[in-house]
Structure 1
């Protein structure tokens, strides 16, 4: 057995999206070791800047208030945390601190993750208190809603959506999550009446190319003439919650969908009848358990 670095487990990737005012940041850490990341999630949740934490599969997600804080690290109780999250133009600087093994996670494990531009690290391990600063690109969240790509003979929207998202995944527009959203079972449904929302974290200037690639994939592989694709570049889709509630509780018109999309800055990329469900899917990104309940 040979271990090139026995005390480092690099994260698969670290990505950060900011809101338009640069007041909120969501840090998304793609774990290589779920046990270690779950430990960090618990301890980091106690940091003053952290508003909310959650695990979505092997992705640890931290909703942060941008700024600086002072950590009161305590062994076993609050052994690691996020000291600061600073937005500097096209970059976001994140500083972590930790004790012992938490310090290893705060330094080398995060510094070598995919998506990190550069870093500053202290010594870590053993009984030391350590800190590490990483710089990542400032990204925006891009949500893509898709519905009605299949027929009664072949296909499933959720599988095509995932396969296209995986094919277009890149460091510039990172594929973050895929969520199935149960809709009201209208009479002309294929079978289960489920739409899909894809979540991407895009660097500046990458959104247009991403949407064009997804659109081309749908136009090539969809077997329906009523495919719908919509897209929203925003920190969340809270303004669409009421529309989604209606769509998940009764039949609604395509005219209402188009009106709602225009009022909320949503781009209609493919305008088949599937846009009704595609728009309703957007607020449910990364909420996998809630979205499948009608």
Structure 2
């Protein structure tokens, strides 16, 4: 019995979601080894370019400022990190560095991930400082919110939406997160009054077919006549948080949902009564631990 590459634990996917201005990038890394990802999270989070970091299941996410920095590698204290993030019109170049095993993670483990366009790596491991640069396609964030797909006798919105998101996942629009959002328990609820948000890291201008496929599958499998589906395109959906808070604490009119969608540039794809909860799910994309906690 042998191992093809005993010191490489290759990341499954790595994506760069970029703010339109190009000054902020969210780097999303889908790890093949949670322990290794957690080690990176601890060390990378100390780097001067990293504004915020978190883990969601097998995904490790870093909000970073574009630019270059001296990460001050120090054994056992700051053993690896992100040295530079350079944003172009269509691509993002990220350089990692690390000591010893951290250098292995910074080089071969990331360079072989899916959706990496090009890479260059130095020798790593042992007592060496390893450096690796990967080039990724520049992506945008797309969030799909859905509510009201079930009935009193069948269905579950969160599971249907997850299965659809998995089915429409493609290189042009990668499915990266799922969140169940607890809403105010209105009398018209099916049971738990929960809506769903799924997030995609998409190539700009390349996600329309994915959204169309998503809608078609939703219309095919929903068992409700009141299904709502909305699509948000943007780096930061937090402007919808005040609306979401209302939906999580009181019953609100349908007209407010329609008005809010227009004001925030969120597209109503299916405009049934479920539009209210679908819109409320959007700002909780990538926040599945917080989204399930009732606000009442």
Q: In the alignment, does 2:268 pair up with 1:238? A: no
Q: After TM superposition, what 4+ stretches of structure 1 lie above 2 angstroms from structure 2?
A: none
Structure 2 equivalent of residue 291 of structure 1:
291
Once the two structures are superposed, residues 37-89 of structure 1 have per-residue CA deviations (whole angstroms, 9 ceiling, x without a partner) of: 11111000111100011111110100001111112100000010100001111
Q: Distance in 2 between matches of 1:7 and 1:248?
A: 47
Corresponding pairs, count:
294
Q: Which runs of 5+ in 2 are unaligned?
A: none
Q: Does 1:157 align with 2:157?
A: yes
2:155 aligns to what SS in structure 1? coil
The equivalent of 2:176 in structure 1 is 176
TM-aligned CA deviation for residue 274 of structure 1: 0.2
Deviation at 1:20, TM superposition (A): 1.1
Mapped pair 1:9 → 2:18: no
SS at match of 1:248: helix
Instruction: Give TM-score scaled by structure 1 length.
Output: 0.99
Q: 1:40-55 counterparts in 2 under 5 A? A: 40-55=40-55
What aligned pairs does 1:269-288 form with structure 2 within 5 A after superposition?
A: 269-288=269-288
Q: Distance in 1 between matches of 2:221 and 2:107?
A: 44
Q: Deviations over 1:137-157 (max 9, x none)?
A: 000000000000001111000
Residues of 2 paired with 1:33 and 1:257: CA distance?
41
Mapped partners of 1:20, 1:28: distance in 2? 17
Which residue in the other structure is 1:131 paired with?
Answer: 131
1:206 CA drift (Å): 1.7
Shift of the alpha carbon at 1:211?
Answer: 1.1
| Secondary structure of 1:258's aligned partner | helix
Q: List gaps (5 residues or longer) in structure 1.
A: none
Rounded to whole Å, the distance in 2 between the matches of 1:36 and 1:224 is 43
Which residue of structure 2 aligns with residue 260 of structure 1?
260
RMSD, aligned CA: 0.6
- What CA distance in whole angstroms lies between the structure 1 residues aligned with 2:283 and 2:88? 28
